[in-house]
């Protein structure tokens, strides 16, 4: 039975939004071609959404700009209440949202449970942001009130990825809206329902005023239009480095603020005094969670040469014990890869690395959309498995001789998103961690970690130093304004 036939409430009823986009607080037919949505495991069509065009973007941006001032001036308690109602709706529709996320994103049930739990946190965090101080009083001369305050950027263009479509959209939407901006959202074409349509429904039911959120599924032309429209004051994007570079280039002539969280090829360093079993257990999660389709995934396992062989054997045994299959029908550890293009890319990286001398201890192949968890040994710096972001369930193991070599290997390449170091000596691991070029670094843990209130971003080609979350949200979604107020008008003479 499809999700279309199994709809139980208006909230998730595809008949209410089939072929539609969300503009100015209402559902309207998209001007672009219909977009079919497929179950990532079976290929079955589960929905159809509308798509927009650049003309739709212009209309949506104008509507968002018109609605933004009233939204920003709405009393904080009223704006907070909308986020709290949205959070309550997540609880009410939890089971249905779970099924959509499993089938549209290909996530296993624990991954989806994590995504929804963090979505609750994001909405509660946004509710709290509405009542935070927005500035400070500065010293000045007598009779002058001098203020430094944060003001909204206006209309924020949000472009989201497909791997964690719901929570990563909320991670941008929440603070953008909470700080008084309006938003034009373009979900990824692979997940237009859970990354866009359901968010429109969530805030519609929660009482967000019309025009404050616009949702326009579509392709690259829609994204380009959002980036270049003069009405958008900033762009928040999570996705590939390649697309991030194109966004930055298109936004540059308009001097438009961009916050970009991009790809990563993240080092996981294991020293010879680490607890090997604990390190392997964490490593399996870090490389195979959501089929390795996570920007924070452990992309290269840097292991001290004295324990590298034992580490690889233990990791291969762990990989062989993992079940791969359709998460909508059975309890599995890994679900499907997002599409055939990505399957072919992962296979090419593995095959080319093996041809160059790497050894696949386990895996290295796929069955339809399901790629077996793979452990590669004898990987060297000149192989694609070392320096490319794989975005698949592949764990390349690279041996190192010294702490200095580990640091050099970890910092090799253009990426700088996450890193992790494991050792029996916390101080030794911390000394290494302090020299790693990454926006997120964990000592005696693994790479994939997410806290709603922590600033998460990347250095270099992983984002250029921008971050979202907690203290970084104000920097991202507001800008400084200096204001002075005098009780009496002044006269200035030359």
Among candidate residues 87, 96, 295, 389, the one labeled active-site is: 295
In degrees and rounded to multiples of 5, residue 238 shows phi and psi of: -125, 125
Vertex 112: Cα angle to 467 and 372 (nearest 5): 95
Q: Is residue 4 included in any domain, yes or no?
A: no
Structure-token pair, residue 449: 């970690």
Q: How many CB atoms lie within 10 A of CB 139?
A: 6
Residue 434 bears catalytic tag? no
Give the per-residue pLDDT at 193. 96
CA pair distance 186, 233, nearest whole angstrom: 15
Vertex 102: Cα angle to 99 and 106 (nearest 5): 160
Can you list the positions of beta strands (E) in 359-450? 359-362, 366-367, 370-371, 374-377, 394-400, 418-422, 440-443
Q: Is residue 357 included in any domain, yes or no?
A: yes
CA pair distance 329, 169, nearest whole angstrom: 27
The number of angstroms, rounded, from the C-alpha of 27 to the middle of its chain's C-alpha atoms is 26
The number of angstroms, rounded, from the C-alpha of 443 to the middle of its chain's C-alpha atoms is 22
**Pair 372, 407 in one domain:** yes
Q: What is the pLDDT of residues 410-452, one digit of tens each?
A: 999 999 999 999 999 999 999 999 999 999 999 999 999 999 9
Q: Are 296 and 262 in contact (CB under 8 A)?
A: no
Parent domain of 388:
266-443
**Pair 349, 423 in one domain:** yes
Q: Is residue 453 included in any domain, yes or no?
A: no
Is residue 371 classed as helix, strand or coil in its secondary structure? strand
Q: Are 363 and 395 in contact (CB under 8 A)?
A: no
**Pair 167, 280 in one domain:** no
Among candidate residues 87, 96, 261, 389, the one labeled active-site is: 261
CA pair distance 156, 175, nearest whole angstrom: 11
Q: Are 381 and 411 in contact (CB under 8 A)?
A: no
φ/ψ bin of 263: left (φ > 0), alpha (ψ from -120 to 50), beta (otherwise)? beta
Q: Is residue 396 included in any domain, yes or no?
A: yes
CA pair distance 443, 446, nearest whole angstrom: 8
Q: Is residue 82 included in any domain, yes or no?
A: yes
Give the per-residue pLDDT at 6. 46
Q: What is the pLDDT of residues 267-303, one digit of tens each?
A: 999 999 999 999 999 999 999 999 999 999 999 999 9
Q: What is the pLDDT of residues 453-468, one digit of tens each?
A: 999 999 999 998 889 9
**Pair 271, 397 in one domain:** yes
**Pair 113, 181 in one domain:** yes
**Pair 167, 315 in one domain:** no
In degrees and rounded to multiples of 5, residue 134 shows phi and psi of: -110, 15
Give the per-residue pLDDT at 435. 98
**Lookup result for tokens 């809206």:** 177
Q: Are 125 and 174 in contact (CB under 8 A)?
A: yes
Residue 295 bears catalytic tag? yes
Give the per-residue pLDDT at 368. 97
CA pair distance 302, 287, nearest whole angstrom: 13
Q: Name the CA dihedral angle for 209, 119, 263, 215, rounded to a multiple of 10 degrees.
A: -30
**Pair 290, 302 in one domain:** yes
Q: Are 227 and 250 in contact (CB under 8 A)?
A: yes
CA pair distance 163, 101, nearest whole angstrom: 10
Beta strand pairing call for 266-270 and 298-304: parallel
CA pair distance 366, 143, nearest whole angstrom: 73
Q: Are 390 and 292 in contact (CB under 8 A)?
A: yes
**Pair 56, 108 in one domain:** yes
Q: Is the dihedral of CA 12, 116, 210, 31 positive or negative?
A: negative
Is residue 255 classed as helix, strand or coil in its secondary structure? coil
pTM reported for the whole predicted model: 0.94
Considering only the C-alpha atoms of the chain, give the largest distance between any 2 of them, rounded to a whole number of Å.
Answer: 82
**Pair 203, 286 in one domain:** no
Three-state secondary structure string covering 298-329: EEEEEEEHHHHHHHHHHHHHHHHCCCECCCCC
Which residues of the chain are under the pLDDT cut of 70? 1-10
Judging by beta carbons within 10 Å of its beta carbon (0-12, 13-18, 19+), is residue 61 exposed, middle or buried?
A: buried
The CATH number of whichever domain residue 407 belongs to comes to: 3.40.309.10
Beta strand pairing call for 394-400 and 374-377: parallel
Give the per-residue pLDDT at 365. 97
The number of angstroms, rounded, from the C-alpha of 248 to the middle of its chain's C-alpha atoms is 17
The structural domain count of the chain equals: 2
Q: Is residue 432 included in any domain, yes or no?
A: yes
**Pair 76, 168 in one domain:** yes
| C-alpha closest to that of 122 among 161, 173, 186 | 173
**Pair 214, 291 in one domain:** no
Q: Is residue 492 included in any domain, yes or no?
A: no
**Letter string b/e over residues 419-431, b meaning 16 or more CB atoms within 10 A of that residue's CB:** bbbbbeeeeebee
In sequence order, what are the beta bridge partners of 22?
Answer: 27, 215
CA pair distance 256, 249, nearest whole angstrom: 10
Q: Is residue 433 included in any domain, yes or no?
A: yes
**Pair 271, 365 in one domain:** yes
The number of angstroms, rounded, from the C-alpha of 92 to the middle of its chain's C-alpha atoms is 24
CA pair distance 182, 127, nearest whole angstrom: 15
The CATH number of whichever domain residue 15 belongs to comes to: 3.40.605.10
């Amino acid at each position: 039975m499809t999700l279309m036939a199994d709809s139980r409430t208006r909230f998730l009823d595809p008949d209410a939004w089939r072929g539609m986009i969300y503009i100015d607080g209402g559902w309207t037919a998209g001007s672009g071609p219909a977009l079919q949505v497929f179950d990532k495991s079976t290929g079955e069509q589960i929905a159809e959404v509308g798509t927009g065009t650049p003309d739709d973007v212009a209309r949506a941006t104008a509507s968002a700009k018109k609605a933004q001032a009233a939204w920003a001036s709405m009393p904080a308690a009223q704006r907070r209440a909308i986020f709290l109602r949205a959070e309550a709706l997540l609880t009410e529709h939890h089971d249905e949202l779970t099924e959509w996320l499993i089938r549209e994103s290909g996530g296993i049930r624990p991954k989806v449970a994590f995504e929804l739990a963090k979505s609750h946190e994001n909405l509660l965090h946004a509710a709290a942001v509405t009542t935070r101080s927005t500035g400070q009083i500065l010293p000045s001369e007598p009779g002058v009130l001098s203020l430094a305050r944060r003001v909204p950027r206006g209309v924020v263009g949000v472009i989201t990825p497909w791997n964690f479509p719901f929570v990563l959209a909320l991670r941008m939407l929440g603070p953008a809206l909470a700080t008084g901006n309006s938003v034009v959202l373009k979900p990824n074409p692979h997940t237009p329902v859970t990354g866009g349509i359901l968010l429109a429904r969530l805030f519609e039911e929660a009482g967000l005023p019309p025009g404050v959120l616009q949702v326009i599924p579509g392709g690259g032309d829609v994204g380009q239009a959002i980036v270049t429209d003069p009405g958008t004051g900033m762009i928040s994007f999570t996705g590939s480095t390649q697309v991030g570079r194109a966004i930055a280039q298109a936004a540059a002539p308009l001097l438009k603020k961009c916050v970009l969280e991009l790809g990563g090829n993240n080092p996981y360093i294991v020293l010879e005094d680490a607890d090997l079993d604990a390190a392997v257990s964490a490593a399996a999660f870090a490389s195979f969670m959501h089929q390795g389709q996570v920007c924070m995934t452990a992309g290269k396992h840097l292991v001290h040469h004295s324990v590298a062989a034992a580490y690889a054997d233990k990791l291969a045994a762990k990989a062989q014990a993992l079940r791969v299959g359709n998460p909508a029908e059975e309890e599995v550890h890994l679900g499907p890869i997002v599409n055939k293009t990505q399957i072919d890319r992962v296979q090419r990286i593995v095959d080319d690395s093996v041809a160059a001398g790497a050894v696949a201890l386990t895996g290295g192949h796929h069955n339809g959309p399901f790629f077996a968890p793979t452990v590669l040994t004898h990987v060297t710096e000149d192989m694609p498995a070392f320096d490319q972001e794989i975005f698949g369930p592949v764990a390349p193991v690279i041996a190192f001789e010294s702490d200095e070599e580990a640091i050099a290997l970890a910092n090799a390449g253009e990426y700088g998103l996450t890193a992790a170091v494991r050792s029996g000596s916390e101080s030794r691991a911390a000394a290494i961690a302090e020299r790693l070029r990454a926006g997120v670094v964990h000592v005696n843990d693994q790479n994939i970690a997410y806290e709603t209130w922590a600033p998460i971003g990347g250095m270099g080609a992983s984002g250029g130093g921008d971050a979202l979350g907690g203290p970084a949200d104000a920097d991202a979604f507001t800008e400084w304004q200096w204001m002075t107020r005098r009780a009496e008008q002044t006269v200035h003479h030359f």
